[in-house]
Structure 1
């Protein structure tokens, strides 16, 4: 199972992205637990509570921008992969400040999006294979 959060203030884009993620997960025989948000504050709270495997984030949103949301996420989780999906190319360089995994431009190119998800999933599988848990007796 993969837990993926998407955050975009445009509900039509959330629907499109949800369908694309469902398709990608079916192709990879993965169970998807999808969390949908229209603002960064809700996303931050949910990530603290549930711990996402991947966050897909718009840049331009009311209240808390995508960049501010990513900065807040990084204060509490320096490792969660963040992919920006936005119509704003001007923030691409700044996105490296929050260690973004990828920066994709709208409109969504599903082939490219799925290729980026493939790249993320390879990294995700490798990190899960090397997961170390601290116990009372060590690692």
Structure 2
């Protein structure tokens, strides 16, 4: 089952989004989609706090009382890792939205085609069963690395330290450029200077001071690399 919540304080917009979501569920009957709706962000936050979160949240940005981006930040602070699609009338909060790990950012009025494309992207993430691996020679022997679990790598005295989401660290004696070459077919990976290779799927916070990952890890970045990484992250996050 895929649980999806909508939060919008404009009743007309809430009903339109719900209707579009029902149409999507009808056309994709292979998925068991359950829909919840909230007319206020505080109502959503209270529900998640008491009952747990959702797989996907369709969240309006401009709402009375609290911005949708601020509500999303509170959810992240609670440890919620749901996929988020922001729905808004302005692009002004796009950077903030993607720094919170948003999957997509739809500007109203959006078409059914645009809405469905954004949902396809999320559902593909939620239902993806294909596994991607690289087999490399580590200091412990031969290691098969699940790329879906690779959060980032760090260069340390000519050794690449691969940090995985399950807490494991794999040490590989090769140059970072050589390691990155083996990841070239994976657009989620970005080589940030000579020290780090990061998996953008795990980014939950991005600023000129550094990057925070959903695994809890944080790394610094060079200030001159910030704008390049921000653009690459937004291009990657906005892709359809």
TM-score by length of 1: 0.85
Question: 1:122-133 maps to which residues of 2 (within 5 A)?
Answer: 122-126=124-128
**Correspondence 1:20 to 2:20:** yes
1:52-72: CA deviation from partner (whole Å, max 9, x where unpaired):
110010111011110110100
Distance 1:58 1:2 in 2: 20
In the alignment, does 2:15 pair up with 1:6? no
Unaligned runs of 5+ in 1: 131-139
- The answer to whether the 8 A contact 2:53-2:80 is kept is no
Tell me how far apart the structure 2 counterparts of residues 12 and 79 of structure 1 sit (CA, whole Å). Answer: 28
Residue aligning to 2:111: 109
Residue of structure 1 equivalent to 2:48: 47
Alignment-derived partner of residue 32 in structure 1? 33
* Between structures 1 and 2, the one with greater strand share: 2
Larger RCO, structure (CA 8 Å, separation 6 or more): 1
Q: What is the CA–CA distance in structure 2 between the aligned matches of 1:12 and 1:77, rounded to whole Å?
A: 31
Q: 1:76, 1:64 → 2: CA distance?
A: 16
Q: Deviations over 1:19-39 (max 9, x none)?
A: 110110111113332111111
Matched positions, count: 129
TM norm structure 2:
0.51
Q: From the two aligned structures, give the one with the greater helix fraction.
A: 1
Q: CA RMSD in A?
A: 1.7
Q: In the alignment, what sits opposite 1:67?
A: 69
